[in-house]
Amino acid sequence: MSKHFDIIIKHGTILQMDKGLNVLTDHVVAIRDRKICAIEPLAHFTVNAGVEGVSFHSARTVIDATDCIVMPGLINAHTHLPMSYMRGLADDLPLDKWLKDYIWPAEDKLLNDELGDKFIYDATLYGAAEVIRSGTTMVSDMYFKGEQMGRALVDAGLRGIIGEAVTDLIQANGKDRIGEYAVDMNREFASTNLVEFSVAPHAIYSCSENVLRKCAKAAIDNDLLLHIHISESEKERNDCIVKHGKRPVEYLAQTGFLDARTILAHGIWVDKDELTLLAERNISVATCTESNLKLCSGILPLRDYMETGVNLCLATDGAASNNNLDLFTEMDTTAKIHKMINHDPALLPAHDVVKMVTCNAAKAIYREHELGSLLPGYLADITIVALDTLNSQPIFNPYSHLVYALNGHNVRDVIINGKLVLKNRKLTTLDEKALIATAKHYQEKICRILPL
């Protein structure tokens, strides 16, 4: 009986990013119904039907990945896509001043405008296009107006976990019912098979202990992911000790966060005791190296992470503090900065850095059973990187190239949920020129309403 496939990817160097870090050549990846259904030797896929009637003729789309790296789609474990239009809005400032004097006032005006919903939708769509173009197939996001963000992700064809941000101020305004919103939205978006919602208290300094406890309880009761910024600045850590008599991770433990499916963003100002606590509870950290460097927030203690075994993945944070959403440059910077400050060029080898945007990131969001590796039965989220540009040849080690030589512009094709959303460097779901025109429109609007 003949098998039918939606997409077949032939040739290419396949990085499975599985436990053995297998690298396959002369193999084929076959996709059907949103999933990878087979990864088999090319010889099995002959024109005249080979093993079990499998042939290239039975695929709707055949992608020739000669001179390409085929890898799991990259996962950006902490970002804020709706901040895409705030790229470069206010740079060269410390975190506290950046947030209080620029970002929060800007958000106050833009989101409360009668067109606030449209702003969120448009900005998320723009961010989604940027991440797809650079090989990212999934984001774990945190922002406001999650329904609009969800609609944008579905329209772009990007997989995502959307955290509706919770703060004391939002609670005081009665705008969010902690947990209920995520449950409602999960029901509404269930049929998309792309978007799910999490509970996302912004930080320990913007949420009271009572609100944090409610968030943890809501996440546990409804089996939702819990997503929070933690230990991003030294001030945050010191204030926590003064106010609560505990270090931030200990304080989170007190509020129930370590009993939930939790992902922490940043985790810079943590000590070994805190990391041991995270490792024991299997809780991961998404580090945002470039954003942390730009805001001078600090550099996380990588050796302590390695010694305690805390799962670490990479993220860009929002475009307002990065200022791009390209995980390739994030890999490059992360590898180099930790080598430098540890005076050890052997630290953090390239394959370990690639794990941080694939299998480690899938584990961080509790989806390692279906994402982050190329294996039969896994969801078909795949990035194909072309080695057809001057910065890509010669190639001796694909992991080295992904971290040190290539960038998001080398991504040629992207498949998400079994659908080709980037084909030969062209978005199939969105009009890139229209997106850029819309971004310029918002630039003018922001200049009109903010005293820049």
Pair 149, 126: CB distance under 8 Å: no
CB of 129 to Zn ion, least distance (A): 20
User: Two tokens at 230?
Assistant: 């933690």
When the beta carbons of 24 and 295 are compared against Zn ion, the nearer one is: 295
Q: Which residues have C-beta within 8 Å of that of residue 199, sequence separation ≥ 6?
A: 163, 164, 166, 178, 179, 182, 215, 218, 219, 224, 225, 226, 227
Site string for Zn ion, 128-167 (x = CB under 5 A): ----------------------------------------
Stretch of residues binding Zn ion (CB under 5 A), selected from 298-306, 314-322, 406-414, 438-446: 314-322
When the beta carbons of 27 and 227 are compared against Zn ion, the nearer one is: 227
CB of 232 to Zn ion, least distance (A): 8
CB of 321 to Zn ion, least distance (A): 7
The CB-nearest residue to Zn ion is 317
Stretch of residues binding Zn ion (CB under 5 A), selected from 63-71, 316-324, 349-357, 373-381: 316-324
Q: 205-225: string of b/e by CB count within 10 Å (b at 16+)?
A: bbbeeebbbbbbbbbbeeebb
When the beta carbons of 107 and 317 are compared against Zn ion, the nearer one is: 317
When the beta carbons of 130 and 317 are compared against Zn ion, the nearer one is: 317
User: Two tokens at 47?
Assistant: 């024109």
Element (H, E) at 213: helix 209-222
CB of 275 to Zn ion, least distance (A): 20
When the beta carbons of 127 and 157 are compared against Zn ion, the nearer one is: 127
CB of 135 to Zn ion, least distance (A): 21
Cis bond before residue 407 (omega within 30° of 0): no
Stretch of residues binding Zn ion (CB under 5 A), selected from 24-32, 302-310, 312-320, 436-444: 312-320
Q: State the Cα–Cα distance between residues 374 and 137, nearest whole angstrom.
A: 13
- How many residues sit in the footprint of Zn ion (CB under 5 A)? 1
When the beta carbons of 317 and 413 are compared against Zn ion, the nearer one is: 317
Residues of this chain, 348-407, that bind Zn ion according to CB under 5 A: none
Q: 266-290: string of b/e by CB count within 10 Å (b at 16+)?
A: bbbbbeeebbbbbbeeebbbbbbbb
Site string for Zn ion, 245-284 (x = CB under 5 A): ----------------------------------------
Residues of this chain, 189-208, that bind Zn ion according to CB under 5 A: none
CB of 2 to Zn ion, least distance (A): 49
When the beta carbons of 157 and 318 are compared against Zn ion, the nearer one is: 318
Q: State the Cα–Cα distance between residues 448 and 402, nearest whole angstrom.
A: 41
Q: Residue 407: what residue type?
A: N
Pair 384, 65: CB distance under 8 Å: yes
CB of 220 to Zn ion, least distance (A): 23
User: Two tokens at 369?
Assistant: 């059973």
CB of 258 to Zn ion, least distance (A): 20
CB of 387 to Zn ion, least distance (A): 33
Stretch of residues binding Zn ion (CB under 5 A), selected from 15-23, 278-286, 317-325, 388-396: 317-325
Q: State the Cα–Cα distance between residues 171 and 175, nearest whole angstrom.
A: 6
For residues 200, 203, 208, 211, the Cα torsion angle rounded to the nearest 10 degrees is: 10
Residues of this chain, 70-129, that bind Zn ion according to CB under 5 A: none
Residue entry with tokens 């579905």:
154
CB of 79 to Zn ion, least distance (A): 7
User: Two tokens at 306?
Assistant: 């390695």
User: Which residues are paired to 175 by β-bridges?
Assistant: none
Residue entry with tokens 């995520």:
182
CB of 297 to Zn ion, least distance (A): 11
Stretch of residues binding Zn ion (CB under 5 A), selected from 56-64, 163-171, 313-321, 434-442: 313-321
Q: Which of 6, 122, 176, 317 binds Zn ion (CB under 5 A)?
A: 317
When the beta carbons of 27 and 266 are compared against Zn ion, the nearer one is: 266
User: Two tokens at 4?
Assistant: 């039918």
User: Two tokens at 441?
Assistant: 């429109």
Stretch of residues binding Zn ion (CB under 5 A), selected from 309-317, 371-379, 382-390, 417-425: 309-317
A 10 A CB-CB count for 25 gives: 10
User: Within 13 Å, how many C-alpha atoms sit on residue 90's CB side?
Assistant: 21
Q: Does 330 bind Zn ion (CB under 5 A)?
A: no
- Chain centroid to CA 315: 6
When the beta carbons of 176 and 317 are compared against Zn ion, the nearer one is: 317
A 10 A CB-CB count for 447 gives: 11
Q: Using CB under 5 A as the criterion, which residues of the chain lie in contact with Zn ion when the complex forms? A: 317
